[in-house]
Amino acid sequence: MKLKSLLIASAMMLAPASVMAADLTIGFSQIGSESGWRAAETTVTKQEAEKRGIDLKFADAQQKQENQIKAIRSFIAQDVDAILLAPVVATGWDEVLEEAKDAEIPVLLLDRTVDASEDLYLTAVTSDLVHEGEVAGKWLVEEMAGKPCNVVELQGTTGSSPAIDRKKGFEQGIAGHDNLKIIRSQTGDFTRSQGKVVMESFLKAEGGANICALYAHNDDMAVGAIQAIKEAGLKPGQDIKIVSIDSVPDIHLAMAAGEANATIELTPNMAGPALDALEAYLSSGTTPPKWIQTESRLYTLKDDNQAVYEAKKGLGY
């Protein structure tokens, strides 16, 4: 049933013209199912390929680089038209990318980049982590409109690049606004339970009335912190404003209930821009820029968060 509708859908899509897309076979080497976001990225990539009538060969590397290299070699052996790669680590790709280049198969990087010569891949589609933090900071500046505000920060895993960059971006975003002060900053390891534990200690160490806003490096920690704020007898979203990053379904549910204020989307749709660039490259030879930045969309309480939740919850987050 599903297969049939898929066939009809792709047949309809192909019918008008797009002969080129009809012949496209693309290999996708995904890291594995390390997080909900990763699962959503896989779902969206499959959807994007289906929409364009592309035959997508999917390989799950189970978080191992050797599996990704194996997958890329097998894609080269199958003579695919292009390869999408979400690299698990940054180093050690030169040899296999060289092989792809010799076979004249363009490689497009999704979500993360690699430490290899730029001519070894067509383009990299990633979000700008610093920019995400900056959007969060600017949102808070606007929301507070000059009023004094003590901010607590839940950092990601210490030393990880999202934690470093999202912290840096937020500080850039609030720079020059002396009414906003980060009074406590501690790691919540990107998890709900640590987010809750650390928020509990913030509330006790500073006193709930003394904290005016929370900035969390990801939504999961914010969801945990919301529970801690509620258990302390305060109203999350009102007594303490909450802004976080990622835009996972559960934060939209919290926003729909008025318990969180804003989230910045780390879009799982990295494949859309990548495939657009690829199609332009194959049909007209337009070389895309080496880095395509995805949009970091800001969701606030003005959006229909219930609808966003409904749309996102089926993506595998």
Partner 1 sequence: MTHGLQATLRRVAPQLMILAAVLLLNVIVFPDFFRIEFQNGRLFGNLVDVFNRGAPTALLCIGMTLVIATRGIDLSVGAVMAIAGATAASLVADGSGWVTALLGALAVGVLCGLWNGVLVAVLRIQPIVATLVLMVAGRGIAQLITEGTILTFVNPGLIHLGAGTVLGVPTPILIWIGLGALITLGVRRTALGMLVEAIGINESSSRLAGINSRVLLICVYLVTGFCAALAGVIVAADIKGADANNAGLWLELDAILAVVIGGNSLLGGRFSIVASLIGALIIQSVNSVILLSGLPPEFNLVIKALIIIAILVIQSPTVKHALYILRASAESAGVDTPAASASAPLAKSTETAR
The answer for 62, left when phi > 0, alpha when psi is -120 to 50, beta otherwise, is: left
- Region 30-69 residues binding partner 1, contact defined as CB under 8 A: 33-36, 39
Stretch touching partner 1 by CB under 8 A, among 29-37, 102-110, 113-121, 293-301: 29-37
Rounded-to-integer distance, Cα 174 and Cα 146, Å: 11
Rounded-to-integer distance, Cα 228 and Cα 202, Å: 10
- The yes or no reply on residue 231 touching partner 1 (CB under 8 A) is yes
Amino acid at 30: Q
Nearer to partner 1, 106 or 237 (CB): 237
The edge-to-edge listing of strands for the beta sheet with 149-155 is 180-187, 149-155, 213-216, 241-246, 262-265, 298-300
Rounded-to-integer distance, Cα 304 and Cα 199, Å: 27
- The yes or no reply on residue 164 touching partner 1 (CB under 8 A) is no
- The yes or no reply on residue 84 touching partner 1 (CB under 8 A) is no
Nearer to partner 1, 81 or 220 (CB): 220
Rounded-to-integer distance, Cα 162 and Cα 190, Å: 10
- The yes or no reply on residue 158 touching partner 1 (CB under 8 A) is yes
Rounded-to-integer distance, Cα 40 and Cα 184, Å: 32
- The yes or no reply on residue 280 touching partner 1 (CB under 8 A) is no
Rounded-to-integer distance, Cα 228 and Cα 195, Å: 9
- What SS3 state is found at 184? strand
- The yes or no reply on residue 13 touching partner 1 (CB under 8 A) is no
Nearer to partner 1, 10 or 42 (CB): 42
Cβ neighbours around 257 below 10 Å, total: 13
Rounded-to-integer distance, Cα 52 and Cα 50, Å: 5
Site mask, partner 1, residues 232-271, x = CB under 8 A?
Answer: xx----------------x---------------------
Q: How far is the CB of 94 from partner 1 (least distance, A)?
A: 31
Angle between helix 36-51 and 271-284 (nearest 10): 30
- The yes or no reply on residue 16 touching partner 1 (CB under 8 A) is no
In eight-state DSSP terms, residue 286 is P
Q: Tokens 């496209």 identify what position? A: 24
Site mask, partner 1, residues 208-227, x = CB under 8 A?
Answer: ------------x--xx--x
Stretch touching partner 1 by CB under 8 A, among 51-59, 66-74, 111-119, 195-203: 195-203
Nearer to partner 1, 149 or 223 (CB): 223
Rounded-to-integer distance, Cα 204 and Cα 230, Å: 13
- The yes or no reply on residue 22 touching partner 1 (CB under 8 A) is no
Numbers of helices and strands, H then E, in the chain: 12, 12
Stretch touching partner 1 by CB under 8 A, among 134-142, 168-176, 200-208, 261-269: 200-208
Stretch touching partner 1 by CB under 8 A, among 14-22, 77-85, 181-189, 285-293: 181-189
Q: How far is the CB of 177 from partner 1 (least distance, A)?
A: 22
Query: Which residues are near partner 1 by CB under 8 A?
Result: 33-36, 39, 155, 158-159, 184-187, 189, 191-193, 196-198, 200-201, 204-205, 220, 223-224, 227, 231-233, 250, 316-317
